[in-house]
Structure 1
Amino acid sequence: MMSKPEEIVVSLRSHLMERLLTALFWLWLLSTIVGYFATLNYANQPHDLILLQRAQALAEQLKLGSGQERLDYQPILPDGSEPGHPDRVVYTVSDSNGIKVAGNANLARPVSYRKGKDGPLFSNSEREGEKTRMVSLIYPARAGGKLYQLHVSETTHQRRELVRGILANIVIPQLLLIMISAGAVWYGLKEGLAPLERLRQEVAARKRDDLNSLDAAKAPEEVRPLIGAVNDLLERLQQIMQAQKRFVADAAHQLRTPFAGLKTQAELALRENDVERKQHALQLMLTSTRHGTRLVNQLLALARNEPGGQGTHSFTMLELGQLAQSCAMQWVPMALEKNIDLGFEGVETQTWIRGDAVSLNEMLGNLIDNAIRYTPATGHITIRMACEQGKVRLCVEDNGPGIAAQHRERVFERFYRILGSGQSGSGLGLAIVAEVVKRHGAEISLGQGRTGTGTRVSIYFPII
């Protein structure tokens, strides 16, 4: 089996340092290239002027353009052997066709290469493996004389030495500045990321069950949205953990009695030899088991609909009238057992809402179950729907004993039961109803029936 490649963890500080230093390097490189060409141009200007003056002086010595040229004259020019003068200077005098007529080197070119340009013409070339700089001058003919060109070339040792010196004075300080900038960037990043490090230490020092919100007051503005998202996550986790704790506490509290009774009845059945008494004990065990099963289902329903449970991701578009009528049909057999008239009054138009069908069935089922339990035989239970001001009202009304005003607020609490009601139960039914209503953004009210008796539970859902 191939092992999963280990993921490379990138440090934010290293990432920022890499980006910033890369940008500084390219900036330094660009500055060096631009500085090189600017320095080269700067170094050429004074040396070109000296080369031009030397060529003009040589032209005067040779009397070019005077008609009395001294082409056999041998001028003394630097040969590069003198200390402090490493460059060698050579010259050529040529005619208009580029034929050499005098000089110590052959630099001749036809006059056409000037392309009609007058005045000194500078160019770069290479001679005997050395880079050279050359200036060309033209001297027109006089009174029947000939046109002459003078080409003077020198090596570029001094020019390059000057360029290197200037570049050293530019590049080395820039490089030092880059290094200082890198240190400043590193220190700035260290100080800038210090709030994140303090936040990390704060989180690392927390206890395992500490889900309180992180303090964003001292965090940089750019990090606050992240802290806000983490705080939202912590709040959801806290709600989930609290819901789990409540579920465990509720389950432990409520299941203790059924299991204790079940254990007692099992022990009693084991001791009994009489078949009828054993059968009676087994029947009691079955009743306790059914009660425990119903209790577990109610606890699970309560946990699903609590804040931090399933949320709203399971919501779909539902036609409330069809859902309510289908749920009511499931309770008809139980109502008939007590000879209770279970009716449904819908609306003519369809009423669409967003919700969880399972939770809504549990909600309405608990309301109908309570109504059947507390309504006497031959009583009436009506499930009624109506549209009111952009909302749809779902109402379960019975003509039972009703709920006294002092109990109406507390009946939605967990395990709250009205003493003397004469009915068994866990006290979770209306608590489940309240959580489902809250989860669906609906409203619930509790009052008397239309005739002033019984109980009417009204739930108002927003219509989509």
Structure 2
Amino acid sequence: MTLADPPSLRGRLLRLLWWPLLAVLMLSAVYDYSQWADRARANQDLALSRIAIALATRLDVDADDARDDDVGPHLARTVQVMQQADGRDRLFFAVLDAKGTVLGGDAHLMSLIEPPPGDWAVFADTHWQGSDVRVVALPHRSPVGPVTVVVAETTERRVAQTHHVLMDTIVPNLVLVLLALSLVWLGVNFALAPLDRLSDQVEHRSQQDLGQIPESPLPSELKPLVAALNRLMAHLRASAQAQQAFLSNAAHQLRTPLAGVINQIELVSREVAGEPRERLAGVQEALQRMTRSTHQMLALARSGPQAAAAEEAAPVDLADLLEDAASQWLDTALAAGVDLGFEPEPAVVRGSAWMLHELLGNLIHNALRHSPPGSRVTVRSGTDAQAGSWLEVEDEGPGIPPALRDKVFDRFFQAPGAAPGGSGLGLAIVREVAERHQAQVLLRDGADGRGLRVRVVFPSSP
């Protein structure tokens, strides 16, 4: 069972800031809506109570008519005029005296609301004639005596105004929520930008780059982390340098006694004949193979990413590299009966001179070992406007089948039918050195489909 990846720092910060902020903004929106809704309801109740007051005032003006039982039609006409002023809602009214006698309107309205206990108006929400209504009962002392004015109004305008209040509250608060969350997101990203830059800087470093990470542009919170990374880099650099020194000393200490033993065997073989000489020749050949294998294994270790990290990169001219190889390998080529030719063209790359020397030496050694007597091996260097600098070794041997061209880079692997005496480390060293230089190794058929052409393409220099 695999553990889930922990949440990112950015995600944690956003959640810690977003949810409380969202809760505060939502509570603010609810509070604003309730305040506006209460205010709108109070204003609507005030308007409704003013209608009741207007009827009571009309009752004062028509007191004489009230005695003649003519107040009802007058009040009805007043309500009709008010109804025309607001064409959306319907108005219902009733005016009753202290005895419960209806002076005007519909007496059934009294069943919708409790009579006011004092001199203050009372309100109620109820249902009347298929509609929701808001009812007010207003006590009034008129010239005809105490009366109660009851007015009921449908709630269509109230509902519409509530919707307006809701929209006027939600939309600005929603915009405010989105704006606040966006600002939080931008603020978190801006605050974490130095951490992102540090992460990219470390991630895009090559395996060989063990240099110090600069601390100057970083915030103080990141400086302890960078200081710890720099201490780790220093330890790795010291360890890599110690490994390189050990491998270099080991290569020298092993190569010297082996060379001495081979020379002594060669001297002894000149003084004997017959079967002893043949045996000494076999021992000498075995020691030469052991020397070559030991040298290759040490070179492979020295070109690994841990040891190579201590190497300082410098400009290397591939043409000079080919000239050095010519002096080293011409005798071997003559002994094998192979025509070894060099076609150097100036091509400068940045890297380790000894690593590139090992790379080229292994390519030439493989080409000579697999080329029959009388054939030709050609070593070239040059530049390409698109691909950058390159070096190439082409032989006329049996080549490598396309199906095995990826496999031959594995350590100790030898293709079927390969020439005896090899260790299977040559192309492995070539690949290691190429990877240290961000180069690409290409295996192609030789001229006219004969032999093998190995080209190492280096990246273009910045």
- Structure 1 and Structure 2 fold alike (TM over 0.5): no
Q: TM-score, normalised by structure 1?
A: 0.43
Q: TM-score, normalised by structure 2?
A: 0.43
**Which is richer in helix?**
2
